Structure 1
Amino acid sequence: MTAAITIITAREEPRVDTRDLAHHLGIQHRSAFKLVEAYPEDFKALGVVRFEIAKPPKGAKGGRPERSALLTEDQAYLLLAYSRNTANVRALKVELVKAFRDARAAAETRQRDYLPGYHELHDRVHQLAAESENRHWVHANFDKLVNRTVGLSAGQRQGLPAPVLSLTAVVQTVATRATVGAADHKEAYQRAKAALGRLQDALAVLDGPDVAVLEGGRHGERA
């Protein structure tokens, strides 16, 4: 296995796609999916099985949409239990343990640290920009400022690993504290920008957030 297992958050529950499992096992997806179809009651006993239908790749000639399943942690282990106990299966079991463990850590950090800080910052911005006709952009500018300090691009906050979520939570807290005493949202932004600039200089000494963590540890997330 050359790449990490991708954990998908579906309706706030970590799951893994049978296509990803098949890829890591080095088998055709239909072989893995047949196990889910062959023992539906067994998989349902461990929770609702969520199915997806993927369209054929763009430009592909012919072909039908492919049906796959998003499995919970227990359902994924059940699928592997019903597979031949090869070296690939044993290795994938280890990778699944790590992947779901990391997903749980990220979910806990998101609820405990990141989301309270996010709401605190934006509640403060809301107060300062209450009279502005561009309130939406004021909020967006603060988010961009936080992202720039952490080293994130737009849209990257979903599914971040726990260490990067923790760093983002710290950055949000620094930004919020910097706005205390500001007369309006413009002054608040400049204060936050200056404070995060100093923090960014300190992070630069540590070479910033681990790029490998950002690129390799990110989990997918779906509504």
Structure 2
Amino acid sequence: MKNDVTTFSNHEQDNILTQHKQEARIDSRLFAQCVGIKHKKLYELIQKHKVELRKLGTLPFQTETCAHATGGTKLKYALINENQFDYLCRLVRGRDAEAMKRFKLDVTKALAKRRAAEPICREYLPGYHESRDGLKALGAQRHHYINLARAENRAAGLGTGERPTAGEQQLGVLICMQKIEQAAFDEAIRQGKSPTDAVRDVAHRMEMFASLMSPQGMLQ
């Protein structure tokens, strides 16, 4: 029902976000509840646009078993990131406009509070999990991840174990590298490449990027 809309106090805003692999996410069930639409309709919309949504990050689907007197049913839902949330807000129909505005404000405030409270995570930067998930989808083994991390460190001018002390410029380079990786691994999946070829290709792309930033090639 459109009149049955959840609103949040400052304290309750902490519960808007769900943690998933070091990243804040919004539960699609909460999204539907707060803007006054049926979750089934929102889930169908997410499925319809999942290709576009995955261009904005990984799109994890979850299943919850709900027990009741006659047995149990499985409820499927999605955990969406900030960019996916913004995209979906433009697509949702049949919503309560005022509820949507309130919920968008609550989500924005919750994300801002989360960012202010969390220090920079130097190992798991924005794009890290999307990159590794792309490599995993290619059937990567442990040595592929190790080689990828080494290529990142070379591009950023970091030695083994130096990420915790990386400077802001080096962190920025790592973030750029992981964006390059996402695109390269998506392309590799479409082309049916092996994980070895994909890592080799992305390392070459990193070298090309680094050469644009430093006349000596890799950053020193």
Give TM-score scaled by structure 2 length. 0.46
Structure number with the bigger relative contact order (C-alpha 8 A, sep ≥ 6) is: 1
Larger radius of gyration: 1
Give TM-score scaled by structure 1 length. 0.45
